[in-house]
Structure 1
Amino acid sequence: MPPKRVFKPIRPNNNNNNNNNNSTSNTAAPAPENHHQNDQPPPPILLEELESLLNQSTTNSSEQHLDTKPDISQIDHQNISQPKPAPLFRPLSPEPAPLPQKKNIQPPNIHQQQQHQQHPKKSSKNYPKKTHQNQSNVDNELWLSKNLTDPVKTVEDKWQLLPAFLKVKGLVKQHIDSFNYFVDVDLKAILRANATVISDVDPNFHLSYLDINVGEPSRLDTGSATNKRITPHECRLRDITYSAPISVTIQYTKGNKRVLSKGIPIGRIPIMLRSNKCVLTGKSDAELAKMTECPLDPGGYFVVKGTEKVILVQEQLSKNRILIETDSRKGTIMASVTSSTHERKSKTYVVTKNSKVYLKHNSIQEEIPIAIALKAYGITSDREVVQIVCGNNDDYRAAFSICMEHCHEAGVFTQKQALAYIGKSVKMVKKGPVAGPKRPLTEEALEVLSTVVLAHVPADNLNLQPKAIYLAVMARRVVQAMANPKLVDDRDYVGNKRLELAGQLLSLLFEDLFKKFNTDLKLNIDKVLKKPNRTTEFDAINQFRMHADHISNGFIRAISTGNWSIKRFKMERAGITHVLSRLSYISALGMMTRISSQFEKTRKVSGPRALQPSQWGMLCPSDTPEGEACGLVKNLALMTHITTDTDEEPIWNVAYTIGCEDISSVTGTELYLPRHYIVFINGNILGLTRSPERFVEVFRQFRRAGKISEFVSIYMNADQQTVNIATDGGRICRPMIIVTNGDSMVKTHHIEKLKAGELSFDDFLSQGLIEYLDCNEENDSFIALYEEDIDSYTTHLEIEPFTLLGAVAGLIPYPHHNQSPRNTYQCAMGKQAIGVIAYNQLHRIDTLLYLMVYPHHPMVRTKTIELVGYDKLPAGQNATVAVMSYSGYDIEDALILNKASLDRGFGRCQVFRKATAMIKRYPNGTYDRIADPPRDPEGQVLEKWKPCDDGGVADVGMKVYNGNVYINKQSPSNANDNSVGAGAATVTSWANTPMTYRGTVPSYIDKVMVTDTESDQTLVKVLLRQTRRPELGDKFSSRHGQKGVCGLIVQQEDMPFNDRGTCPDIIMNPHGFPSRMTVGKMLELLSGKAGVLRGTVEYGTAFGGSKAVEMSKILIEHGYSYLGKDYLTSGITGQPLEHYVFMGPIYYQKLKHMVLDKMHARARGPRAVLTRQPTEGRSRDGGLRLGEMERDCLIAHGASQLLLERLMLSSDSFELDVCQDCGFMGYNGWCVRCKNGNSVTKITIPYACKLLFQELMAMNIAPRLVLEDAIK
């Protein structure tokens, strides 16, 4: 429970006159400008500020009058739980408040939002019916000084808010904010929670942690034994971890005195790039260039042992929230709440069985009747039990009466009897090796109920009333769901989800490692203090050095493997981290916004995979993989922000001050009265409000005034009669423009100031023009898509409609004209496109790197392209495409390419591969070496070693062929000797272990780097380069999911040309359009052609962009057909083609799938040891599989001899001795079973078949071979 409230509830001043009210309605205190830039908690709220804000909402009427509105008689109090339109309230002041000026904050009219708090967003079906009287109110008050026929004023360049938003939030910023919160806040909180180490041996010894600090990223310089600053680029090249030391300040007893020590290292923590602790933060582009870093690199990932690793966003069900579910098979309803605290995680259920309600928990063996559980929590009166669950609702009472009868049958009437009843079923975990005296059942039951059941609800000093009310609310929800099945919750609703970011996951990991560190430290201290005859005075700092690597190795192991193992919570998770995909810039960016679900991917269920309406604007509808992960792996939309934890205490104070009563002062009778709403904060009951609409409205005014964090959300639920406040981290929210009195708060002059740099996005928040809404609060609002859609009900306006797409889907021009799966295909292929990955790409030595030689900006852009920087690091080229049929080589999406275009560099790319050799030092003192290349008698280097120089490493620029050695490494033959001594370092002989080039096509040595790693081992890295031009079978794709391989390369003189002599670069078959319905591709061609003729870049942004009619006008002005079609002449015959051809520029991407990497054939080669069949896979020089379908085809054709040859003779034929008498296998002409060799003959069968027979025999199953020749 929250602490006792600081402020007494302030009743509205009934003596305020109207003049005073009008004078204060525009004077909310301006918010501090910068408090939300780093998610810092807002400053404490002063009592005077609260009173001033409250006075804006008060009138000369009493508090009772605030809730007694003109139409309140229309509400049916008996059926208040049924969703009904809220009445249209009159304004709080007799005259409408003037519009806001400059930075003054105008809270929205209270009656406007309350109209729609229970109606879903973007719905035209659920508007409240307007009576004649209400309509006149709207006309006279809301639309005063406005004529409804006036043209709607729209704010141009509203989208300029997006770049301002992306500077402070969004895309990768949530990862960075989360890591910063972990380093700045969570580390200190974990230290405080584990602040002392006490010895069991010496009661005088005491060690306490006072402070913790994370230093700058550094590495240990072995030469000078000091830490040197390090950059991420150096870590990538040298295969070391980009980490910083963690140091603590401790106070401990040394002898008889207390000693304070600062800067004691306890380990190292990997540092996220672009976080507060990173050396790149706050650097200019020029400074980043000196560090060999790309200014456009998003950051948000780690460099561990030279590899870039991303901690993916993890999707979880929200903790500490009641969730109602139904089991359709059993026909039961269940309320569950997952309690999560620092000490423990547990799940509590309230379930139905045979129309009775039970409490269920893992620590209690049997299900406990709910009435007995409530009595055990101290609600002993039957009348109170019924009231606290059912209120005055007769239907609920009738349904609950069977539960009360159950309680009476069990003979439970008092709290002690209830505890004894529960105590019989409690399974307590014994702590410590020695079991203490057996405790009474009532004590055990009380401990479980107070600490384990509903663990997140505090029971201070065994005050169980908050838990009792919480359990009663859960039971009421179950009873409600029994009466109305529509009240069952949806697990997949975005508001019921929380996203775990890197900071939260690292926080869990660090707490586990730190507890283990302290446990080991205590054991070591006890071990030393046990010794009675210590010669030197004991110093605890020496013990720190012994365990310093424990935390460092724990972090590195978890991030390297992706396995999170938290022993305290028995949490085992795999696949948390992934290697950052550097295939293209957009693939790296897309990975940073990816959300991974822990849901089992092999399960074929549609619910979690479906596109939920609640995902609108929060998650990208297009960007999800195909296959088994479809719908489970999602991506964030463009303007999504993920919240971090906000302190609850200021929110308690605000809530108590604006009319929330402490729950302990409320009786069961009052709990569910029609106008009484329970106030929840992060799933815990805070209190009760008797005027919920006013409470929510005033709370929102506080948030817009900047008095509380802008990420706190509040919403009402009429079905449950609750007001829910959320301050927890992991909620998905997005910014919206506030609409008051039917007018958008953001005006043209605000946008002008934004463009001029006078305002930032944070200023829009602090001035109350924009606010963040999470999914639950969105449902409490009416949101207009465009300004012309704003009406009297509207509470918010979308900043831009195209922000409902993510960063990857936003690259598609005109996506709203495509069939939706095509956009999904492009999201996958856009990440595989070869392009430019970063400005420092030529300085990197990556395992595999694809680079486009001549990348282009797309002729048809979207606003997202400019926002995410894709125009600076593109992946594709503008190709002139003719949509026509040309020869038979263009069927099934194959493309015809112009040879002259390829000669000029179209589709040309470079492939870089890394080869690494480690010069190891062995424990016995020997080490590897790089030797000079061997020479023939004439002194010439042998052909195989030709690329190597005199040092044994290939020279830069040398051409290497298959089989060439480029690092002539040698290892000592006695490296594995375990002898350690002076003579152990003598090397008797050297074994050749060279690095040899394997590849059908020669490569060039691009770079050679010799350096040393963290462990002081010498590292040699060689970068190999190939330049490739497109060839038959290479894969290309437009930005509309229209992929195809190159079917034919044609000389330019054979290609068709238009009357201006232009030849297409690509010819595409027109049959690719009708069934795919990619109209966006046609519009891209039309816009691109118009842009080329006019010399401008056109825009194909979703739900907007350049209009087809305008593009056609431009084509006509320049003498082209308005349809984008051209008159073409055949290059082969010289005759005009008989039809106009649709021709123009389309942006094409070359994908990483190239024939050279996939081409594979085999005549003979290695075989598997076990089955003696050819190995599998191109890398192992494997065979080509003849599968089930191919076998069926050969059987259908009757080609039995071919079948025999493929499946046996060319695979694993084996000569086997078989006894014709007994049918068992013989050996070397002898049958062991018959004890003779007379009937043994040889047959040929597949070796795998022989292996199967032997394995069956091992299982005591006897297969016998009956031979045709042996049948008599």
Structure 2
Amino acid sequence: MFKRFRSFTVNGFHANGFKRKNGEWHRRKEGHWRKERQEKIKHRRKKGQRKKFEFGRERHNLLLTSFSLSHSLPPPLTPSHPLSILFFFSHTTPPKMVKYGNKFSWDVISKFFDEKGLAGQQIDSFNQFVKTKMQEVIDEAPVITVQSTITAGQESRRKMSMKFGQIYVSKPPTYTEADGTTITITPNEARLRDLTYLSQLYIDVTKSNENEFGVVDEHTYNKVPFGSIPVMVKSDYCSTHGLNDEELIKIGECEYDVGGYFIVNGSEKVIIAQERMASNTIYVFKKGQPAPYTHYSEIRSVPEKGAKSPSALSLKLCRNPNVIRVSLPYAKQDIPLFIIYRALGFLSDKEITDHIITSDEEMYDLLKESIIESAVIQDQILALDYIGKRSAPVGSTRDKRINFARDLLAKEFLPHIGTQEFCETKKAYFLGYMVQKLLLVALGRKKEDDRDHYGKKRMDLAGPLLASLFKTLYKKLCGETAKHMAKCIENGRDFNIALGLKASTIAQGFRYALATGNWGDQAKSMQTKAGVAQVLNRYNFLSTLSHLRRVNTPIEKEGKLAKPRQLHNTHWGMICPAETPEGQACGLVKNLSLLAYISVGSPSEPIIEFLEECGVEALEEIYDQSHNSHNNQINNVNNSSSTKVFINGVWIGIHENPEILTESLKSLRRCLEIDKEVSIVRDIREGEIRIQSDSGRPTRPYYVVKDNKLCIEERIKNPEELKDYKWNDLIENGFIEFLDVEEEEIAMIAMSPEDLKQNLVQYTHCEIHPATILGVCASVSPFPDHNQSPRNTYQSAMIKQAMGVFFSISYLEWIL
């Protein structure tokens, strides 16, 4: 230690400010070393040399402290004297350390991991898929109906129809041996015997036959074999669910294994979360030359329930003339904006402009060209025929074109607003809202949207990815069943449910996708996404945890764009700033931070009911009142005094007292009356309240602060009392709250409880501990804040390459 201290010199001067010259010790003058250093740097730069050495922040502070102390060091106490070291370290005042977190922080973090685990987002997503999403896909599908061809002597056709009902999943997973016996298997047995860890699917089927005389014969088959589905380890359908450590060891499982993966043919497979742009969100962007339009607005519309494919809608502000055109699904040509409104049933120019703007002259000037362009068509039927000519199949009659246009506007035009009748008013208002956002950006009053903002991103975990795959396989199975039914009708044979319903279609489809990683139908390999499922990394325990928390951005790795790869401000606390690979995948493959949790989604119906009780005026009611009274009340929707209320991108209505409404919703969330994952954002600038309950939003927990005091410290005085609380108890009591990225932006978050004591700003939340912004690998690196950022990235990569024991010793003893 003494030698190390002696070598700590600058230009011959030791840390205490003395220099030995001609056998004598000389004191350095204060500030002299800085002057010498500046002169040397200046001299080097004149010669064109690079600056070879820079003081680090800590070392710089240490030098300043030591040189200021050198004046108080007594002359007999020279640097060679052993007591000089003791004097130096005993009299040096370290810089003031900021205390992060509070006395409960690490206990609270432990409770989060006990409840959720590091693979909790994967497990919860899979459970949601099995419990609700599979049934939604089946309920959304139409009835399979097959008719016979009319032959000579027949007056009517024979019909056969089939409807699928309730689906069932066996629990726990089973395996059928070669002799036909069915046994319950564990994950470890599946690994050792190279089996697939799966559960059987069963479904209720209702079949009806209608003969040529119109007599209907209906029969229901209960719990017909429907295939199988791989089961995620540690999910609610796993045989290890609910077992304690001792019971896990008895069946050969590691007590520290977090689950979140599948076992296919004995190989462990993990589904990598896929990042995408949020659905039902309006984006406005500029477009440069040589594009024929200057600005455009777009939205990918997806209904809340079911697994319908997204319908894209875009508005384009053309260069010359300044008209707004709408790009509809299936339309071969863009449609003028006002023709869309007339097809929806709004005929007069005044009525249409009232849906878009209030008394704004600049916006009205931009709309003039669009009004003139559509002046020829003033009737709804003509407008529908105009759209049908540009979208219906070639050769369709006028009536077919009109009906096609009606169906297009009902089912493919903003389907998240509604696909039933009488949704035209809500769709007209929402289209006007889109146009208004487009015009605000075109006039320079608002900036264009940021594609890389993490509040506008969603992550598809195991649940949504398996739901999209199940929908594809289910459609394929329905097609095969319909073909078999048609053969039975033509040949006059009875339909055999065991032969007609191919259970292997679902089973093989799931197994193929997880085994190869190619996500989609095996027959359409060109349309599949590669690398969605990967072999679980088992080099060591940290590499396994890191793999389960990985996020992939599915864009080409060879792309030269820098923006998608850069660390965004909104990544704070959601994405680890250090853990990303080097090379082509840099910034595209990321990892979740320690406390980041991905929402699994919750139904919006309870929130809508509450909003109706709280006095939110529905758009249809406002339009009916203004239409019947023939006054100008329609403009109330776009007035600055009223606040728009959105739920999952759907404009529900307006409210006159947004502050009370927001506080009521937050108080319901804090006592778990509505789901804890629901995001409530009051955007004062835009005059909006945006409520999100969809899946795939990155969220993280914070302490709740009231009157600049932590709510947890007001109720719990010492850590011993915290032992009686579970994680959900902390949320239910209002101590902890989950915020997503958009809600973080309107919250005032303190970095540490020390900030609250200053009482300078009115805070709403406080960090549990800032160290949790790091991921699994970066957080185990000692003193990462003292390293250059690339060093943390290298360490995060190399720690996953260390060969280690990935399972507990008890498991290794069991298998050996």
Structure-2-length-normalised TM-score: 0.79
Residues of 1 paired with 2:484 and 2:727: CA distance? 53
Correspondence for 2:90: none
Contact kept in structure 1, 2:207 and 2:220, CA below 8 Å: yes
- Structure 2 equivalent of residue 499 of structure 1: 459
Q: Secondary structure at the match of 2:806?
A: coil
Q: Distance in 1 between matches of 2:567 and 2:696?
A: 20
The answer to whether the aligner puts 1:649 opposite 2:600 as a matched pair is no
Deviations 1:772-802 (A, max 9, x none): 1111111111100111212442111111111
Note the residue ranges of structure 2 that are not aligned, 5 or more in a row.
1-97, 149-156, 211-215, 623-632
Alignment partner, residue 579 of structure 1: 535
CA apart distance, 1:403: 2.3
Bigger drift between 607-616 and 456-465 goes to 456-465
Instruction: Name the aligned partner's letter for residue 379 of structure 2.
Output: T
Aligned counterpart in structure 1 of residue 787 of structure 2, from 806, 818, 838: 818
Q: Alpha carbons of 1:708 and 1:815: their partners in 2 closer, same or farther (altered >3 Å)?
A: same
Residue 353 of structure 1 corresponds to which residue in structure 2?
A: 318
Q: Give 3-state SS (helix, strand or coil) of 1:174's partner.
A: helix
Which structure ranks higher in relative contact order (CA pairs < 8 Å, sequence separation ≥ 6)?
Answer: 2
Given candidates 418, 436, 457, the residue that maps to 2:383 is: 418
Indicate the residue corresponding to 1:592 in structure 2: 548
Alignment match, 2:297: 335
> Contact between 1:356 and 1:403, CA under 8 Å: does it hold in 2?
yes
Match of residue 183 from structure 1: 130
Equivalent-residue separation in structure 2 for 1:734 and 1:643 (angstroms): 10
- Give the aligned partner of residue 659 of structure 1: 615
1:715 CA displacement: 0.8
Aligned-partner Cα distance in 2 for 1:235–1:463: 51
CA distance in 1, matches of 2:561, 2:656: 43
How far the C-alpha of 1:714 sits from its partner, in A, is: 1.4
Taking the aligned partners of 2:393 and 2:717, their CA distance within structure 1 comes to: 62
For 2:764 and 2:722, how far apart are their aligned partners in 1?
28
Within 5 A, what are the aligned runs for 1:655-734?
Answer: 655-666=611-622, 667-734=633-700
Shift in Å, 1:442: 3.6
Match runs of 1:42-53 below 5 Å: none
Q: Is the 8 A contact 2:701 2:737 kept in 1?
A: yes
Q: Distance in 1 between matches of 2:349 and 2:397?
A: 35
Report SS of the residue matched to 2:602: coil
Partner of 2:62: none
Encode CA deviations 1:728-767: one digit per residue, 9 max, x unaligned: 1111111111111121111176374676631111001111
> Which residue of 1 is the match for residue 9 of structure 2?
none
Question: Which residues in structure 2 correspond to 1:805-954 (within 5 Å)?
Answer: 805-839=774-808, 842=812
- Following superposition, the deviation at residue 155 of structure 1 comes to 3.8
Aligned equivalents of 1:311, 1:376: Cα separation in 2: 44
Tell whether the 8 Å contact from 1:715 to 1:724 is kept in structure 2 after alignment. yes
**Which residue among 364, 368, 382 is the counterpart of 2:331?**
364
Give me the whole-angstrom Cα distance separating, in 1, the residues matched to 2:101 and 2:313: 51
Structure 2 counterpart of 1:387, from 344, 354, 362: 354
The letter of the residue matching 2:675 is S
Question: CA–CA distance in 2 between the matches of 1:637 and 1:688?
Answer: 37
- 2:166 is paired with a residue of what secondary structure? strand
Query: Could you tell me which amino acid in structure 1 is paired with residue 135 of structure 2?
Result: K
Distance in structure 1 (CA, Å) of the matches to 2:541 and 2:205: 45
What amino acid sits opposite 1:457 in the alignment?
A: I
Q: Secondary structure at the match of 1:573?
A: coil
Q: Which residue of 2 aligns with 1:1244?
A: none
**Contact 2:101–2:767 at 8 Å: present in 1 too?**
no
Q: 1:687 & 1:375 partners in 2: Cα distance?
A: 22
1:671-704 deviation per Cα after TM superposition (whole angstroms, max 9, x unaligned): 2211212211111111111222222222212212
Inter-partner Cα distance in structure 1 for 2:720 and 2:341: 58
Correspondent of 2:516 among 561, 564, 567: 561
> Aligned partners of 2:488, 2:177: CA distance in 1, in Å?
33
Q: Deviations over 1:154-190 (max 9, x none)?
A: 8413221111011222520110001111111112222
TM-fit CA distance, 1:234: 1.7
Q: What is aligned with 2:370?
A: 403
User: Alpha-carbon deviations, 1:217-237, whole Å to 9, x = none?
Assistant: 1111113x1211111112112
- Contact 1:254/1:539 (<8 A) preserved: no
Provide the rounded CA distance (Å) in 2 between the counterparts of 1:663 and 1:754: 52
Report the AA paired with residue 812 of structure 1: S
Q: Is the 8 A contact 2:485 2:495 kept in 1?
A: no
Q: Work out the CA distance in 2 between the residues paired with 1:203 and 1:709.
A: 50
Q: Note the 1:686-1085 alignment, pairs <5 A.
A: 686-747=652-713, 750=716, 752=718, 757-790=723-756, 791=759, 792-839=761-808, 842=812
CA distance in 1, matches of 2:200, 2:533: 22
In terms of Rg, which structure is larger?
Answer: 1
Residues 726 and 206 of structure 1: CA distance in aligned 2, closer, same or farther (over 3 Å): same
The one of 429, 432, 437 equivalent to 1:469 is: 429
Aligned counterpart, 2:108: 161
SS in 2 for 1:834: coil
Amino acid paired to 2:803:
I
The structural deviation recorded for 1:203 is: 4.7
For 1:824 and 1:269, locate their aligned partners in 2 and report how far apart those are by CA, in whole Å. 38
Matches of 1:195 and 1:419, distance apart in 2? 26
Q: Which residue of 1 aligns with 2:140?
A: 193
- The answer to whether the Cα contact below 8 Å between 1:717 and 1:723 also exists between their aligned partners in 2 is yes
SS in 2 for 1:471: helix
C-alpha distance in structure 1 between counterparts of 2:717 and 2:771, whole Å: 18
Secondary structure (helix, strand or coil) at the match of 1:608 reads: helix
Contact 2:100/2:769 (8 A) holds in 1: no
Q: Deviations over 1:473-504 (max 9, x none)?
A: 11100000011264311111111011101111
Aligned to 2:182: 227
Q: For the residues of structure 2 that align with 1:800 and 1:257, how far apart are their CA atoms?
A: 66
How many Å separate the matches in 2 of 1:765 and 1:592? 25
Of 366, 369, 373, which aligns to 2:340?
373
Would you say the 8 A contact 1:245–1:267 is kept in 2? yes
Tell me the residue number matched to 2:258.
Answer: 298
TM-superposed CA distance for 1:518, in Å, is 2.2
- Secondary structure, counterpart of 1:380 in structure 2: coil
Q: Distance in 1 between matches of 2:547 and 2:647?
A: 33
The answer (yes or no) to whether the contact 1:155–1:747 under 8 Å persists in 2 is no
Aligned mates of 1:569, 1:675 — CA distance in 2 = 54
Q: What's the offset of the Cα at 1:622?
A: 0.8
| CA gap 1:771/1:358 in 2 versus in 1, 3 angstroms | same
CA distance in 2, matches of 1:608, 1:485: 26
Q: Tell me, yes or no, if structure 1 residue 623 matches structure 2 residue 584.
A: no
Are the structure 2 counterparts of residues 844 and 570 from structure 1 closer, same or farther at C-alpha, using a change threshold of 3 Å?
Answer: farther
Change in Cα spacing, 1:363 to 1:208, as seen in structure 2 (3 Å) is closer
Q: What is the root-mean-square deviation of aligned Cα atoms in Å?
A: 2.6
| 1:875-934 deviation digits (Å, cap 9, x = unpaired) | xxxxxxxxxxxxxxxxxxxxxxxxxxxxxxxxxxxxxxxxxxxxxxxxxxxxxxxxxxxx
Distance 1:373 1:253, change over 3 A: closer
TM-score, normalised relative to structure 1: 0.52
Is the 1:391–1:671 Cα contact (8 Å) retained in structure 2? no
How far the C-alpha of 1:369 sits from its partner, in A, is 2.2
After superposition, the Cα gap between the structure-2 partners of 1:419 and 1:548, relative to the gap in structure 1 and judged at 3 Å, is closer
Number of corresponding residues: 683
Unaligned runs of 5+ in 1: 1-150, 846-1006, 1008-1272
CA contact (8 A) 1:753 1:759 kept: no
Give deviations 1:52-100, integer Å, cap 9, x for gaps: xxxxxxxxxxxxxxxxxxxxxxxxxxxxxxxxxxxxxxxxxxxxxxxxx
CA distance in 2, matches of 1:644, 1:384: 41
